[in-house]
Amino acid sequence: MAKPVILAVDDDDLVLRAVERDLRARYAAGYRIVAADSGTAALDATRELTARGASVALFLVDQRMPVMTGIEFLRQAIELQPDAKRVLLTAYADTEVAIQAINEIRLDQYLLKPWDPPDEHLYPVVDDLLEDWSATFRPAFEGVRLVVGRWSPRGHEIRDYLARNQVPYQWLDPEADDEARRLVTAVAPDHDPAIPMLVFPDGTTLDDPTSMAIAEKVGLQVRAGLPFYDVVIIGGGPAGLAAAVYGASEGLKTVLVEREAPGGQAGTTSRIENYLGFPVGLSGSDLARRALTQARRLGAEILSPQEVSSLRREDPYRTVVLGDGSELSCQTVVIASGVSYRQLDLPGVAELVGAGIFYGASISEAVLYRDLDVGVMGGGNSAGQAVVYLSRFASRVHLIVRGADLAAGMSQYLVDQIAAIPSIEVHTQTTLEAVEGEGRRLSCVRLGTPDGEQVLPLAALFVTIGQRPRTDWLEGTVERDAAGFVLTGGALLRDGKAPSGWNANREPLLLESSVPGVFAAGDVRYRSIKRIASAVGEGAMAVALIHQYLASH
């Protein structure tokens, strides 16, 4: 943790050096001593310290300075550091002014110059003030700080990105939080609260940054380190991470490319209770974090965020083209790009995404809806896990299901948990007909039920319906079914014959696509089992098949 600061201010250089010397002699072990030769310079230093997240414990300020007096400085400085103790250095003739400052700006103490010896006239006063300050001091957060209003859709996107990439951050709302307002005053007084601003520990800022800009700033790898790989894995869900772990552990030069954040849909899951080896369950983010650490430790490169735009076949090699135009050459590819939730096609929805309507579980948002009513759409495990998790915060959670019962698409343990939580209300045979907003955020939804229309006032709606594979970039390269899922193995055969363009003297391997050496694993694969354990198994199996493929070449 960075040391708290004692800031000394005096326009007389000899006096300032003496003050600094005395403070360092006594307090340097526990405090950082900063000196400024004018009120203006001290105010600039206070702004910079605030931007960096540093805490000022004590201002020790001369009253008689040109341009800006000590009291004028303190009046502005305490807006940035309101908890700091305030001491004014005065001449005998200034004592009346100092007493007035006690009433106006809550001055803690004034000292007459000179104070020699400091053991009698300086240290006892400062010791008492620092002891009082330390008793209530809470260390400032030292990571990335996000300043944005609560209902900003871009703010939600950035919060979700930081959380899913395990980047520690603090969210500050300038419309409701005093600390946020002080930070904005220090770094960007004219900042629009609807526009996200990231403030980094070094005091630098990014306004409305892209995921790529954030990744580069916090040190995530976004560009490949090698000119050629044995295997390029596309997608960082359970299947992709498993392939990265097994590929790297078995000596393959491995790189994983993820468009958002490692973990995929599973990474947003609040609690997984049926994953082998974790009897008390674990969160999706924990699973993703463990797998990511394991893959990196074994030597896999992780590029995130990076979008894949196309795949090119250049026998005997394959080329993966990224969204920034760069290319990854390789011998084999594992497509593990997963699926995305179906978007709602209703008027007004697009304007409310990120401001009350969320696709996926978005567990990073759950705490914002404490004691409010929220809804979840969907009948699968993702919906069930989201409902159970949200019930810890929301006063009531409405589960909206198109089917007649939950058991058709949800694991029994979740069905049982939902039935046991009184704050969860299940609406079966129900459809979403309309959404309505109030100001910049969701206010209610209109449902179609067997008994007619029902209006539910909701603060948030989490949508977990439909599965659309992320495979548009494979158009014209790899065979897919009508819904876009990648065909593999026996599903490619027509009357026992391999697909058009197949140039290998064998049938496609179990997880191999219509392009030799290109494999698919996890939810993106045709007729795969949509479970995390199955995806992990397919990711591991893909690596075994890659070894078989490479051995034949």
CATH of the domain at 242: 3.50.50.60
Extract the tokens encoding 213. 């800009």
Distance separating alpha carbons of residues 55 and 537, to the nearest angstrom: 50
E strand or H helix at 68: none
- The predicted pLDDT at position 190 comes to 83
- On whether residue 427 sits in a domain, the answer given is yes
Burial annotation 315-329 (CB, 10 A radius, 16+ → b, else e): eeebebbbeeeeebb
- On whether residue 80 sits in a domain, the answer given is yes
Extract the tokens encoding 29. 């072990």
- For residues 79 and 191, state if they share a domain: no
- The predicted pLDDT at position 1 comes to 59
- For residues 365 and 419, state if they share a domain: yes
- On whether residue 115 sits in a domain, the answer given is yes
Where do runs of H (alpha helix) occur along 137-237?
A: 153-164, 178-187, 211-218
Q: Which residues contact 53 (CB under 8 A, 6 or more apart)?
A: 2, 140, 141, 142, 145, 199, 201
Distances (CA, A) of 267 to 86, 283, 287: 48, 8, 7
- The predicted pLDDT at position 136 comes to 86
The neighbour count for residue 344, using CB atoms within 10 Å, is: 19
Question: Which residue numbers in the chain have pLDDT < 70?
Answer: 1, 93
Distance separating alpha carbons of residues 210 and 537, to the nearest angstrom: 34
- For residues 11 and 126, state if they share a domain: yes
**Residue whose C-alpha is closest to residue 461's, from 534, 410, 387:** 387
- On whether residue 45 sits in a domain, the answer given is yes
Q: How far is CA 252 from the centre of its chain?
A: 30
Which residue, of 463, 495, 525, is where some domain finishes? 463
- For residues 476 and 332, state if they share a domain: yes
User: Is there a cis peptide before residue 316, judged by omega within 30 degrees of 0?
Assistant: yes
Which residue, of 104, 136, 168, is where some domain finishes? 136
- On whether residue 314 sits in a domain, the answer given is yes
Number of domains in the chain: 4
Whole-prediction pTM: 0.82
Question: Based on the number of CB atoms within 10 Å of its own CB, is 552 exposed (0-12), middle (13-18) or buried (19 or more)?
Answer: exposed
The DSSP code for 282 is B
The DSSP code for 494 is B
Extract the tokens encoding 220. 């995530």
- For residues 384 and 442, state if they share a domain: yes
Which residue, of 420, 446, 463, is where some domain finishes? 463
- The predicted pLDDT at position 39 comes to 95
- The predicted pLDDT at position 364 comes to 73
Burial annotation 74-96 (CB, 10 A radius, 16+ → b, else e): beebbebbeebbbbbbbeeebee
Distance separating alpha carbons of residues 15 and 517, to the nearest angstrom: 76
- For residues 155 and 115, state if they share a domain: no
- For residues 41 and 122, state if they share a domain: yes
**Residue whose C-alpha is closest to residue 470's, from 462, 461, 480, 460:** 480
- The predicted pLDDT at position 191 comes to 82
- On whether residue 223 sits in a domain, the answer given is no
Task: Tell me which residue range forms the domain holding 489.
Answer: 228-340+468-551
- The predicted pLDDT at position 138 comes to 82
- For residues 111 and 194, state if they share a domain: no
Q: Which residues contact 294 (CB under 8 A, 6 or more apart)?
A: 245
- The predicted pLDDT at position 476 comes to 92
- For residues 27 and 64, state if they share a domain: yes
The DSSP code for 524 is G
- For residues 109 and 175, state if they share a domain: no
Extract the tokens encoding 346. 């209703």
Terminal C-alpha separation, the chain = 55
- For residues 301 and 389, state if they share a domain: no
- The predicted pLDDT at position 192 comes to 83
- For residues 417 and 476, state if they share a domain: no
Task: Concatenate the DSSP letters of all residues of 443-490 into one string.
Answer: EEEEEEETTEEEEEE-SEEEE----EES-GGGTTTS-B-TTSPBP-GG
- The predicted pLDDT at position 139 comes to 79
